[in-house]
Amino acid sequence: MDHPMAHGAAATGLTRAQVAARSGASERLMRHCEALGLLDEPARAVPLLRFVRRAQALGFEPPEVVELLALWRDERRASFDVKRVALARAEALGERIEELAQMKRGLERLAHCCGGDQRPACPILDELAELKGFAGCAAAAAASAAFSAESGRPS
């Protein structure tokens, strides 16, 4: 069975490449939207793909994009429902940002503990292997300083 976009280009007078160019959508996004059954109205392919692309740029997940599309198409929607989806995504993004900030701080602490010299001892690898990690940070820093002093290299 042909997908609507297969005939959609003819229905809109646009080729698939033109739909992609006008919407700014990648081929991957077009295939994804087709698989979800979102491109059922060839005449609306360009605005729909633009909508999806913008929603993705704001961090909305696929189920949220589908929900937002349904709200967009519903002329009797309540803006409260749209706002609820947006605020939920903003909260999830805030949580993810905090998770990433914690990861960054952890990596920076581990890097600070690493002597970054010629010795094989590495608190970063120890942490990944659950050996010493942060607990060995002071010892690693002291050993690195001692090694540097012995070898005449800066620590």
Q: Do the beta carbons of residue 133 and residue 144 sit within 8 Å? A: no
CA nearest neighbour of 32 among 11, 7, 63? 63
Q: What is the pLDDT of residues 92-129, one digit of tens each?
A: 999 999 999 999 998 998 899 888 899 888 888 888 88
Query: Virtual CA dihedral for 148, 150, 153, 155, nearest 10 degrees?
Result: 20
3-state SS, residue 56: helix
- How close are the terminal C-alpha atoms of the chain, in Å? 68
Tokens 């993705």 label which residue? 56
Statement: residue 90 has pLDDT above 90: yes
78: left (phi over 0), alpha (psi -120 to 50) or beta: beta
Asked if pLDDT for residue 1 goes beyond 50, the answer is no
pLDDT value at residue 130:
82
Question: Out of 12-21, 37-46, 54-63, 131-140, which region has the weakest mean confidence (pLDDT)?
Answer: 131-140
Which residue, 117, 151, 152, 153, is CA-closest to 140?
117
Per-residue pLDDT tens digits for 36-79: 888 877 678 899 999 999 999 999 999 999 999 999 999 999 99
